Amino acid sequence: QVQLVESGGGVVQPGRSLRLSCAASGFTFSSFAIHWVRQAPGKGLEWVAVISYDGSNNYYADSVKGRFTISRDNSKNTLYLQMNSLRVEDTAVYYCAREGWGYDSSGYYRNSGFDYWGQGTLVTVSS
Amino acid sequence: DIQMTQSPSSLSASVGDRVTITCRASQSISSYLNWYQQKPGKAPKLLIYAASSFQSGVPSRFSGSGSGTDFTLTISSLQPEDFATYYCQQSYRTPYTFGQGTKLEIK
Binary contact (B50, A105; C-beta < 8 A): yes
Residue A111's pLDDT band, with cuts at 50, 70 and 90, is: confident
The backbone torsions φ and ψ at residue B86, rounded to the nearest 5 degrees and listed phi first, read -115, 135
Q: Which residues on chain A are in Cβ contact (under 8 Å) with B50?
A: 102, 104-105, 110, 112-113
Q: Residue A102: is its pLDDT beyond 90?
A: no
| Start-to-end Cα distance in chain A | 40
**A27-80 pLDDT, tens per residue?**
999 999 999 999 999 999 999 999 999 999 999 999 999 999 999 999 999 999
Q: What does the alpha-carbon distance between residue B2 and residue B84 come to, in Å, rounded to a whole number?
A: 25
Report the pLDDT value the prediction gives residue B29, as an integer from 0 to 100. 96
The answer to whether A113 contacts chain B (CB < 8 Å) is yes
Contact indicator for B28, B68 with CB cutoff of 8 Å? yes
Q: Residue A86: is its pLDDT beyond 90?
A: yes
